[in-house]
A and B are shown apart, each in its own frame.
Chain A
Amino acid sequence: MKRRDFLRSGAGVALAASGGLAVPHVARGAENRVLRFIPQANLANLDPIWTTLYVVRNASVLFFDTLYGVDSSFNPQPQMCEGHTVSSDGLTYDFKLRPGLKWHDKEPVLSKDCVASLTRWMVRDNMGQMIKTRLAEIAPIDDRSFRIRLNQPFPKLVYALGKLGTPIAFMMPERMAKTDPFKPITEYVGSGPFKFRKDEWIPGASAVFERFDGYIPRQEAPSWLSGGKVVHFDRVEWKIIPDAATASAALQNGEVDWWETASADLAPILKANASLNVDIADPLGNIGDFRMNHLFPPFNDQRVRLAALIGANQADYLQAITGTDTNLWKQSASFLTPGTPLYTEFGGDNLKRHDIAAARKLIEEAGHKGTKVNMIVGTDVPIAKAQGDVTADMLTKIGLVVDYVNTDWGTVGARRTQKKPVADGGWNIFFTWHAGVDCTTPGANPAFFANGDKAWFGWPTSAPVQDTIDAWFDAPDLAAEQKVARDFNKASMDFVTFVPTGFFKGYQSWRKSLSGVVAAPFPVVWGVEKKACSRDPSP
């Protein structure tokens, strides 16, 4: 071999080894058709009925579709449905599907699929369960129409079909929807604007959604879960990056386009970067929850719960959770989400007092001065830990003795289900938070319920609270709903179902090469476009 041949072949080998020449412009054009996105958490499953995790809902929104979709004004709009009719007695709803709807396997969407999907969803969703208790019949009329017949009117039926909180009433082919609602589906065929690429799914690392050519968007402008879902990407690649510093660096380096939950700590760095936008992710934010066990002393005594409510200072909690950035939090004497139609602070005066002396007096009156309270705190979850630390300080000040159990979220999840006394593995307090989208109405969140054994962890029992929740389901119009919401907030504050520790939001951040990013309760990909990249986004 001559020297030049050797060099030539060596260069060829080196070139091949390096993965080829620089990416040509055509490939860069294709690059603009790929959205690289860091979701809020690992996507470990894709059955939005089996699990109510929000990350699963957010992925499901890409490849499943809904009959109705709630818009940014909280009104349900037709999505897969062309429309519906309601009988004059409010008992019979006839729904008609849009023509041309297809599943990702190219089969037509039929009414029997929707009937099976709704039947599965009704088992797991609390609004669905309410429908089920009033259901006389749900059955196909023809391939594109089906009927729901009730034995008692349910004015929230269409809203329930389009609601944003988990579990959403997503439509699936009948064969998938017939899966036991307590077991996961094993195939992922939807009718949404993207197909899920199961072959490219690496749980804990990445998930890929590919544009579905058979999707026919509606003509209306997009608004949250409703309207025309016009997509401008051939692929949406979810990259799971659990470490916030790495996610931030990847975004700054142009390796990803969009980070759903930009950490508040890193927001100043991201805001200082000229290539990035930083803004509120979800305008509905979250509401912190300091949750007490109503079954055992001392929190089976309403005076002790009230003392905790009076002693709590939301500003302390919110600063501990989000820092001093006041764009991210708001004190709110309400169980409901600020800025939504039913929001009210009626009855919330005690939560505004943060009067330690008065709280201490109540504890003494209840005979619980020096009583030990067990707090299970998932310290691997910053929001839970922040609430735990603030609460420990407050409870000590009002005269209780805190047993702070430092553990992980997985353990909290298991232990909070225990109805036993603390000595036998039970608990007195744990901390969590609720997505604002689940707190827009009294009936949307099981954590509001006060129906004893059937209620959420802590098992509160209060007829006045539960009556207002039941009344909301039957409220015929917005004015009636608003009145019920006021009664609900007051009853819940008086009874102290739990202590709301305040309203807080989070940032999202995206590269300026993206346009059309909106603030919504979930990442809305339709309408988003990408311009040419300024930096090689490899790997």
Chain B
Amino acid sequence: MLGHITRRVAATIPVMLFVAFFIFSLLYMAPGDPAAIIAGDQASPSDIAHIRASLGLDRPFVVRFADWLWQVLHGNLGDSIFTNLPVAHMIAQRIEPTLSLMVLTTLISVLIAVPLGVVAAWKQGSFIDRAVMVLAVLGFSVPVFVIGYVLAYIFALKLGWLPVQGFVPISGGVWPFLRTLILPSAALGLIYVALIARITRATMLEVLSQDYVRTARAKGVGSREVLFVHALKNAAVPIVTVIGNGVALLIGGAVVTETVFAIPGLGRLTVDAILRRDYPVIQGVVLLFSVTYVLVNLLVDLLYTLFDPRIRY
């Protein structure tokens, strides 16, 4: 197992190098000029050229990439072109809101979606099953920002229970922290609930038709035990896979959710950086997202062994 983990972690290095090169190339080829944005509308073309030169943006691609990679290999993600702050500092400022949002969303989604999927499979064709499917279709069809606006309108503007925007770190108190995250998590979580509930239902339907389930029932095992001990454990591998893959969905959704609820997270940092062509920030954040995604997938692979003893690394 340890050897497998080591090999997998080592395998991320070429992946990260490829991601780094790909992102750098993409940004190099993309139109746009941070110097023009910095200079503003009042600046003359020669001012823009001066700023471009001072930022080193007029250097050849290879030189810029090598310079950046060298810094990254030394643990330095560089400085933002605009704020002049270290990229690592900017990421550190933003990581708590995004991490909190993603963890809370995952937690709530799994706690809601898995039981819903199990019950829907158990009561296939019933009202509950249809309701879960309607919820799933709704989750897939309605954009996150629409759900966000509707929730904010009802629970913040009309009822006054929760704030419209912002984020309070957990050091500011658990309830103030949760208050700012309930609506964003609910908005972001709906699509995740839909995804997990559908997969859980489909996998459970397949498992429930297996011979060993029939045997268990014939032996007089109760429904709850059949569902949650025998069936769910055997259905867990695809469910855990979807939860892991869904992290990419959450990262994408966080960009929109953080904008709608004005949460100072990594999603907004990414969008701002892209709009301003703040290359070091974009590269730093994308690298972080890539590492996160690779590590989550590694974690999912390791979890397989917990649910299915036949899987060995």
B-binding residues in A (CB < 8 A):
16-20, 42, 44-45, 50-54, 124, 126, 165-167, 180, 182-184, 186, 202-206, 239-243, 245-247, 249-250, 252-253, 255, 380, 407-411, 413-417, 432, 434, 438, 445-447, 454, 456-457, 535, 538-539
Sampled A-B contacts (29; CB under 8 Å)? A17-B174, A19-B174, A19-B175, A20-B173, A44-B82, A44-B83, A182-B53, A184-B84, A202-B93, A203-B82, A204-B264, A204-B268, A204-B269, A204-B272, A206-B264, A239-B166, A240-B262, A241-B165, A246-B165, A250-B166, A380-B275, A407-B31, A410-B31, A413-B36, A417-B48, A417-B49, A446-B44, A538-B163, A539-B167
* A412 CA / B46 CA spacing, docked (Å): 17
The answer on a CB contact under 8 Å between B166 and A255 is yes
The answer on a CB contact under 8 Å between B174 and A18 is yes
* A186 CA / B84 CA spacing, docked (Å): 7
A166: which of B42, B46, B50, B175 is its contact (CB, 8 Å)? B42
B160 adjacent to chain A (CB < 8 Å)? yes
Contacts A410-B32, A414-B32 supplied; 16 other A-B pairs, CB < 8 Å: A17-B173, A19-B176, A20-B173, A50-B51, A167-B42, A202-B264, A204-B272, A205-B268, A239-B166, A249-B152, A253-B156, A407-B31, A432-B41, A456-B45, A535-B160, A539-B176
* A290 CA / B303 CA spacing, docked (Å): 60
Contact of A182 with B31 at beta-carbon distance under 8 Å, contacts A17-B174, A51-B38 already known: no
* A432 CA / B43 CA spacing, docked (Å): 13
Q: How far is the CB of A239 from chain B (nearest CB, A)?
A: 7
* A454 CA / B43 CA spacing, docked (Å): 11
* A17 CA / B39 CA spacing, docked (Å): 47
* A380 CA / B276 CA spacing, docked (Å): 12
The DSSP consensus for interface residues of chain B is: helix
The answer on a CB contact under 8 Å between A539 and B33 is no
- Chain B contacts for A539, CB-based, 8 A: 163, 166-168, 176, 179-180
B241 adjacent to chain A (CB < 8 Å)? no
B80: which of A182, A203, A246 is its contact (CB, 8 Å)? A203
Q: How far is the CB of B65 from chain A (nearest CB, A)?
A: 20
Tell me the chain B residues, 238-285 only, with Cβ under 8 Å from chain A.
259-262, 264, 268-269, 272, 275-278
Q: How far is the CB of A266 from chain B (nearest CB, A)?
A: 12
The answer on a CB contact under 8 Å between A53 and B40 is yes
The closest CB in chain B to the CB of A38 belongs to B262
Contact of A410 with B276 at beta-carbon distance under 8 Å, contacts A20-B173, A182-B50, A245-B149 already known: yes
* A421 CA / B206 CA spacing, docked (Å): 63
* A447 CA / B44 CA spacing, docked (Å): 9
- Chain A contacts for B93, CB-based, 8 A: 202, 205
Choose among A52, A167, A246 the residue with the greatest number of B CB atoms under 10 Å from its CB: A246
Q: How far is the CB of A380 from chain B (nearest CB, A)?
A: 7
Shortest beta-carbon contacts, A-B, top 7: A19-B173, A205-B264, A414-B33, A52-B40, A413-B36, A18-B175, A17-B174
Contact of A413 with B84 at beta-carbon distance under 8 Å, contacts A17-B173, A52-B43, A246-B262 already known: no
Q: How far is the CB of B209 from chain A (nearest CB, A)?
A: 46
- Chain A contacts for B47, CB-based, 8 A: 124, 182
- Chain A contacts for B172, CB-based, 8 A: 19
The closest CB in chain A to the CB of B33 belongs to A414
B157 adjacent to chain A (CB < 8 Å)? yes
- Chain B contacts for A457, CB-based, 8 A: 45
The answer on a CB contact under 8 Å between A408 and B51 is no
B88 adjacent to chain A (CB < 8 Å)? no
A16: which of B45, B48, B85, B173 is its contact (CB, 8 Å)? B173
Contact of A253 with B164 at beta-carbon distance under 8 Å, contacts A413-B36, A417-B36 already known: yes
* A166 CA / B172 CA spacing, docked (Å): 39
The answer on a CB contact under 8 Å between B42 and A249 is no
- Chain B contacts for A438, CB-based, 8 A: 42
The answer on a CB contact under 8 Å between A51 and B156 is no
- Chain A contacts for B128, CB-based, 8 A: none
The answer on a CB contact under 8 Å between A408 and B43 is no
The answer on a CB contact under 8 Å between B160 and A51 is no
- Chain B contacts for A205, CB-based, 8 A: 93-94, 262, 264, 268
